[in-house]
Structure 1
Amino acid sequence: MLALDFKIAVRNIRKNPGFTIINIGGLAIGLASCLILLLYVNYEWSYDKQFKDIDRIYFAKLNLKLGSNTITLEATPNQLAHTAAQEIPGIELATRMSDEENKLFTYQQNKIKLTYSYVDPEFLQVFDYSFLKGDPATALKQPNSVILTASSARKLFGSEEPLGKSLMWDNRKPLTVTAVIADPPKNQSMQFEALQTWAFHDQEYPNEINGGWGSINCSTIFKLKENADFGAADASLRKLIKAHQQDTQMEVFLFPFSKYQLYDEFKNGKLVGGRIDQVRLFFFLAFCVLLIASINYMNLSTARSEKRAREVGVRKVLGSSRKALISQFLMESMLLSFLAMVIAFVLIELTLPYFNHLLEIVLTINYQSPLFWCSIIVLILTTGFLAGCYPAFYLSSFTPIRVLKGFTIAGKGSLSIRRLLVVFQFSLSIVMIVGATIVYSQIQYMKNKPLGFDKNNLVQLNLEGEFANPSKVEVLKAALKKENAIVSASEYAADFTANGGSITGNFSWPGKNKKDDYVINYRTVGYDFVSTIGAKMIEGADFLRLLASDTASGILVNQAAVKMMALQHPVGTPISWGDKKLHIIGVVNDYNNATVRNQAEPTAFYYSPKKSGALLLRLNPSQPLNVAIQTINRISQQLNPAYPSALKYIDEGMEQKIKSEKLLGVLSNIFGSFAIVISCLGLLGLALYMAEQRKREISIRKVLGADLKSILVLLNKDFIKLVLISNLIAIPIAYVLLTKWLQTYDYKVSTGLWPYMLAAGISLTIAILTISMQSFKVAKANPVDALKYE
């Protein structure tokens, strides 16, 4: 029976090549789009899943209560890991991990900057990295040990054996390579090129060893014992700091490491989402595109209902059951689904390199995975059934007498299922058009929104090696100004566009409520900071050489800090920072250098070139950019020969801040366009169906004198109604969804009505063009062809 159904399906597909091409094309585009989106969703979902016992590994998160609000931090107290491992029975292992750092690693003539983190030896017991060389039990035993990834070992040592070799760290201290591990995959949260010991960290930062619970400088990771009670361990950890420091406002809790990448947004101490929202959106988009493609198949199949109706009638007269007919139609849709999947794979292989470049990741299809092939089979069967179920049940329901006497459509007063499907298709497509338009507008708004500083012609140089000496930096500044390469320069705490930074709760000022807790960001800067970054002084003055007396006791604050402190006349206000007595010398405007989506946080700036890690350089606009850059590289190399000059462009750093929004915008544009194309195929299907059903009516009207214009209006008006209904349904839904999305931004575009009017205009235009092609063909047809058998 199945063999017969297969033969009939093949015969019908070959008999109607036009319908077959449109059907398979629509399904292939839908399946290819769906699979690419699902590959990305799976990639994001698989973050950190490669670790063994991932379900027992937890990050410690820190809730810090500030008055009526609570902020959630990844950084935890230095002594949390050791104390928790001793006092909480459910914890098997605890390890610390520092933030990423970037230093120069030197072996003979090879000088390479590597990203690394400091970790405890237990780190290698918590995470089962693949060791290519060395022993994980002893790799971090000695303070000067270093573990390299395979790629970094290759960069430093080439084909030489790296194990046991000595290299120079930061051109100051020797390290011994004790192990080489496989490169961490891209879908792993912790990315590094080297691992160093926490004992070495203590040598570099001795002041943090006995910093108490206020020394918040690391991430803490726990591995619970097998069958340990998570609730009990979490409750004990939440009480831990309070047990050691009664007046603390800190509370630490366990957070599953498997959720670290996707669930990263907290509000008032509670998890509210994160990247998982975007992943869900892409999964929903994949489902919508596939659903639109399946609906398109339904419409195209039922468009041929009159021709297939006689076939059904004859087969029923000859004894076929409805079950057998349903089986035949489903077989046909399954076969089309299979052929569409084959074409979809070709499309995926052709387009995947483009998407990998766009997403800056490596999406691959594992053809050797049994799970993959099982998923593909399920997808083919699901798509085939989803696309073919309605035509199968609809066509098989025809009664022989009715179809053999003459097939007629339902009355005009009833809105057929085919029309409902077209409305549903276009509603989804219009939502996608509105979404793509508003996402694009938001991206452009964030790109062009004034940041409060001038990112153009601003570059950054790391202060390392000889430039760790402030006097050497002054020589560099003077030389660059003499060469007219720069117009100003200033030190800064760290990477200017990096997220995060130092915070303190020890600021006091006149009028501060002692019951309230406030956290203020603080950054070290040098002379001429405000003018170098191109910000604006609201009141007072910048740190200037002419006012060197202000540098020891003066601080700058931004407008957000003034608002938080509720200061009417901030300049001259005395500020206490622990035991230090300071005063405000100036107020700088709120500028956004760490984020473009949220408002600037309260920040204080104090003069301290010695504690700064970066030098900001304002390039001379009268010189060509390449000449200025070459001059900076040449002079910095002369003054600091052991370190390769590596300039960072601030505008490029700011561009990375909207990376996720750009990704969302590009994908919504691409797959939204695919959805429109597929929806138009569905509309074409309905137009073919209506033309088939009304060809006798149109022919009679032409015989009675109807002109081309009136016939086109007659054929098109019903379809225009469907598209208008789709707009009425889609626009409110799009408004609700996108308003909710925009609420996640402090700075958001004001859209007005134009995105919705644009979507309505695009959908109507495309619909009219699509159906007019078929309507014009019917209207121009010779009426004799339709009436000669009457």
Structure 2
Amino acid sequence: MLRNYLKIALRSLWKNRGYTAINLVGLGVAFCISVFLLLTAYVHLTYDSFHEDGDRIFQLYLAANDPERPTKSGTFPLPMGPALTADFPELDATARVQIGRKTLVEANGKYVDKLINYTDPGFLKLFSFPLLSGNRDVVLRELGSVVISENMAHDLFGGVNPVGKRLRLGSDGAQRDFIVTGVLADVPDNSSVRFDALVRIEDAPGYAAGKTKWEDRSLQVFLKVPPQLSQSTLETRLKAFTQKYFQTDIDELKKKKAQPDAKGDLFAVRLQALANVHFNREMSDNKGTPVAVIYVLMGMAFFILSIASINFINLSIARSFTRAREVGVRKSLGALKGSLFLQIWSESGLVCLLGFVLGAVLANGLLPAFNAQFGAKLKLATMLQPGFIGMSLAVVGLVTLVAGGYPAWQMARFNTIEVLKGKLTTQRPGAMRNALIVTQFALSCLLACCTIIAFQQVGYLRSSPLGFDKEQVISIPVGNQVDGRQVLNRLRNRLANDPTVLAVTGTGINLGRGKDRVSSRSTIGFTHKGKPLSTDGLLIDYDYLKTLNIKILAGRDFNRAYAADSSRRIIVTQSLARQMGVANPVGTLLGDDTDKLQIIGVVPDFRLYSVAERANPIMLYLSNNEPIRYVFVRVAPQSLAGAMEKLKKTWAEVAPQAEFMGSFLDENVDAWYQDEEQLSQVLSLAAGIAIVLSCIGLFAIALLMIEQRTKEIGVRKVLGASIPGLVLLLSRDFVKLVLIALAIAVPLAWFGMDSWLANYAHRVVISPWVFVGVGLSAMLIALLTVSFHSIKAALMDPVKSLRSD
């Protein structure tokens, strides 16, 4: 029987190959886009899922209910680890993780830059990163030991077993030898904790000075709870722990007259599940993807599949009227309703399956282009994972059940007598068909509105004033191969007489996101007249303000003529001066009695980080002890074309061992908004496909409705109806449905995008003209889509329209 069903299905699909092709293309494209979206969501949702007992691993964080702005922080002081172990001995494992910058590593005369994490031996008890060489229980037991990744082992030692070999970490007189005690498999792409090597935290620079200081917070803390200990129970017990070790923070909040939060805490140590670490941008060093974006991607996949399914239903129902006699004859010959349902449904299932295969082939072929366009790292191997295969089969099964089941059920219940008498097409379209049109256009309009608002927000972020001049400035990461201060001085000397170079300076923090993709933040806290203040600290060198065209509002810039400028002098932004409550802060001393800083200048507020983030006051300072990590060069506008190549050649002379990774500052700033731009592009792609699919569906249902009203049109023409009047009559119903769709889509789009924009400190105001424009466009597209059938029906000879079938 199944073989006969398959034969009949293939014959029917071939006989109506035009409809079949439309269905296959629509479903194939929908499945292809959905595969990309669901694959992206799947990768993010499975972050850190490879660790054993992952549901019992947590990251600690500090929650402060500050009256100015409640905050969460994932950084802790060095003494946190020993204190936690002493007060909670029942924990299965704890580990402090100090994530450092890339460090210069040397072995056998080879030099590489690698990310070194300083941690406790409990790290390998907490996490399940596979150990390829060495004993898991002892590789980090001794000080001076290092566990390296497989990739790092290959870069430094080739095919030789590195265990027991020596390597050196650091540069510029701060090198130290370590012994390789183990090799770990490379960290998977879907891991929130990333590293190239692990070193005992006691070997970290500055550990001895900071191991007893509770006010310095620079590391993350992870723990693994025993099965019998719940998260809520441990958080309750941590209340006493917080009062014991963080009383100073609690007292400061009391001075601000802070009120307890919903859990009754002013300041608390709490737990975040490992599965949520990737999605928490506020406490994640790698700035993970917000979970709301993942839900948006899954929602878009659902929307596109829904529209494609509605198209499939519409086309199947449209075809049902051409197959009505076939169904009627088969029922009159004794065919059961159930067998008819299975036979017709088998056709739908075959189309859905072929559509999915086409979509998978398209996705495989377009995967490199998708990765390149959206900066994704999707892999074909992920599509073959059991979890993703199961999710894909569930989606195909659901589409087959809904999109194929409804038309099959409708045709199987045709009344035999009415079908054979030709009366089936006299009824007007029902509520289901109208609902399908409304749903299609509501989803399309929703995506279109969201796309426009997202692009407006990206444009707003890019056009927002930064407080500095980003044009004609080249940013060069120094790297770890050379001393940044030496390279800066050499570059200054080499370019001093070049008329095309207007200024050269150095800094510890890049502006925007350069080619090294590194972003760092240094927060400095101090008290002024009993009022706690917090600023972003920015290490700079001479001529920084000149290079970025930042004006001095009061006081002066740093000057080589004043020796004290390099140690105890600072420049502050306007917002810090306002917080201090001093009319003229120049000359004011900040800090405690033994370590005071003097303000020598005030500058306007400028953006050290993305406009999407909350701006903090900035303290600019010089230091001979902290490394220069970036060099900025301002070039003359007329020399912009060849400036990068000239600097590349000069860099090869002053720092031959370091790679040149120069980029224009305006490009770096644009990269701040890469995530928002990618979301906008994905939304625009989804909206475009949704609109095309909706037009195909509308085209099909217009054909269906006009076929049902053929005789009515003939009668109206005989009675004197004009062609424009008939076209208006046939199009009027579609306009009503589009208006209903807009009434549904507009509030949903406004609510969703307003919630998304709430994540930004600076945001656009949603304009009602966005919805007006989308609405008019939707109606115009609908009218153009149905006009072909409407005009064709209106021009038809009424004799043919009234002729009986």
**TM-score computed with the length of structure 1 as normaliser:** 0.90
In the alignment, residue 488 of structure 1 is paired with which amino acid? A
Measured in 2, the distance between the counterparts of 1:459 and 1:368 equals 42
Q: Which residue, out of 522, 525, 530, partners 1:502?
A: 522
Provide structure 1 residue ranges, at least 5 long, that are not aligned to the other structure. Answer: 268-272
Measured in 2, the distance between the counterparts of 1:640 and 1:367 equals 44
User: 2:764 is matched with which residue?
Assistant: 749
Measured in 2, the distance between the counterparts of 1:636 and 1:321 equals 83
The percent of aligned pairs where both chains have the same amino acid is 29
User: 2:279 is matched with which residue?
Assistant: 262
Cα deviation code 1:170-199 (max 9, x no counterpart): 343333333332221111112222223323
Measured in 1, the distance between the counterparts of 2:709 and 2:11 equals 27
Q: CA deviation at 1:648?
A: 5.6
In the alignment, residue 403 of structure 2 is paired with which amino acid? A
Q: CA RMSD in A?
A: 3.0
Contact 1:699-1:787 at 8 Å conserved across structures = yes
3-state DSSP of counterpart to 1:234: helix
3-state DSSP of counterpart to 1:164: coil
Measured in 2, the distance between the counterparts of 1:371 and 1:196 equals 35
Contact 1:60-1:252 at 8 Å conserved across structures = yes
Measured in 1, the distance between the counterparts of 2:779 and 2:6 equals 40
User: 1:190 is matched with which residue?
Assistant: 193
Pairwise mapping of residues 113-512 of structure 1 onto structure 2 (< 5 A)? 113-171=113-171, 172-201=175-204, 204-206=205-207, 208-244=209-245, 246-249=247-250, 251-265=268-282, 275-357=290-372, 358-365=374-381, 369-407=385-423, 416-456=431-471, 457-462=473-478, 467=483, 473-484=488-499, 486-497=501-512, 499-509=519-529
Measured in 2, the distance between the counterparts of 1:453 and 1:68 equals 28
Measured in 2, the distance between the counterparts of 1:182 and 1:552 equals 44
Measured in 1, the distance between the counterparts of 2:341 and 2:578 equals 71
Change (3 A) 1:555 1:410: farther
Contact 1:152-1:193 at 8 Å conserved across structures = yes
User: 1:522 is matched with which residue?
Assistant: 537
Cα deviation code 1:240-265 (max 9, x no counterpart): 24214533335322211121002344
3-state DSSP of counterpart to 1:168: strand
Q: CA deviation at 1:156?
A: 2.9
In the alignment, residue 527 of structure 2 is paired with which amino acid? F
Contact 1:492-1:609 at 8 Å conserved across structures = no
Change (3 A) 1:454 1:111: farther
Measured in 2, the distance between the counterparts of 1:472 and 1:706 equals 86
- Larger deviation, residues 299-308 vs 79-88: 299-308
Change (3 A) 1:624 1:422: same
Change (3 A) 1:108 1:758: farther
Indicate yes or no: 2:51 matched with 1:51.
Answer: yes
Q: CA deviation at 1:605?
A: 2.1
Q: CA deviation at 1:785?
A: 4.0
Contact 1:58-1:221 at 8 Å conserved across structures = yes
User: 2:259 is matched with which residue?
Assistant: none
In the alignment, residue 22 of structure 2 is paired with which amino acid? I
Contact 2:48-2:275 at 8 Å conserved across structures = yes
Contact 1:592-1:599 at 8 Å conserved across structures = no
3-state DSSP of counterpart to 1:90: coil
Contact 2:367-2:378 at 8 Å conserved across structures = no
Cα deviation code 1:583-630 (max 9, x no counterpart): 432222222232221342122222324224324323322574575445
Change (3 A) 1:63 1:704: closer
Q: How many residue pairs end up in the alignment?
A: 776
Measured in 1, the distance between the counterparts of 2:392 and 2:630 equals 54
In the alignment, residue 144 of structure 1 is paired with which amino acid? G
Contact 2:483-2:627 at 8 Å conserved across structures = no
Q: CA deviation at 1:442?
A: 1.5
Q: CA deviation at 1:757?
A: 3.0
Measured in 2, the distance between the counterparts of 1:622 and 1:309 equals 74
User: 1:95 is matched with which residue?
Assistant: 95
Change (3 A) 1:717 1:246: closer
Contact 1:458-1:618 at 8 Å conserved across structures = yes
3-state DSSP of counterpart to 2:198: strand
Pairwise mapping of residues 558-597 of structure 1 onto structure 2 (< 5 A)? 558-577=573-592, 579-597=594-612
Cα deviation code 1:434-478 (max 9, x no counterpart): 11111122122222322222233131443767636x577445423
Q: CA deviation at 1:266?
A: 7.8
Measured in 2, the distance between the counterparts of 1:637 and 1:199 equals 37
3-state DSSP of counterpart to 2:791: helix
- Larger deviation, residues 214-223 vs 187-196: 187-196
Cα deviation code 1:26-65 (max 9, x no counterpart): 2222222222211111111010111112112111112245
In the alignment, residue 271 of structure 2 is paired with which amino acid? L
Q: CA deviation at 1:277?
A: 0.5
In the alignment, residue 214 of structure 1 is paired with which amino acid? E
Change (3 A) 1:69 1:749: closer
Change (3 A) 1:782 1:129: same
Contact 1:66-1:517 at 8 Å conserved across structures = no
Measured in 1, the distance between the counterparts of 2:792 and 2:653 equals 77
Contact 1:106-1:169 at 8 Å conserved across structures = yes
Measured in 1, the distance between the counterparts of 2:232 and 2:756 equals 33
Pairwise mapping of residues 616-635 of structure 1 onto structure 2 (< 5 A)? 616-621=631-636, 624-625=639-640, 628-629=643-644, 632=647
Cα deviation code 1:348-390 (max 9, x no counterpart): 1122222222233123255755555444433222111111233
In the alignment, residue 459 of structure 1 is paired with which amino acid? S
In the alignment, residue 277 of structure 2 is paired with which amino acid? Y
- Larger deviation, residues 178-187 vs 480-489: 480-489
Measured in 1, the distance between the counterparts of 2:725 and 2:701 equals 20
Change (3 A) 1:80 1:485: farther
Q: CA deviation at 1:114?
A: 1.7
3-state DSSP of counterpart to 2:323: helix
In the alignment, residue 152 of structure 1 is paired with which amino acid? M
Change (3 A) 1:47 1:180: same
In the alignment, residue 216 of structure 1 is paired with which amino acid? R
Change (3 A) 1:641 1:430: closer
3-state DSSP of counterpart to 1:506: strand
- Larger deviation, residues 66-75 vs 545-554: 545-554
Measured in 1, the distance between the counterparts of 2:144 and 2:156 equals 17
Indicate yes or no: 2:739 matched with 1:724.
Answer: yes
Cα deviation code 1:739-762 (max 9, x no counterpart): 222222122234523422332233
Cα deviation code 1:547-574 (max 9, x no counterpart): 5555554322223223333443333444
Indicate yes or no: 2:548 matched with 1:536.
Answer: no
Contact 1:166-1:176 at 8 Å conserved across structures = yes
Q: CA deviation at 1:638?
A: 4.9
Contact 2:34-2:305 at 8 Å conserved across structures = yes
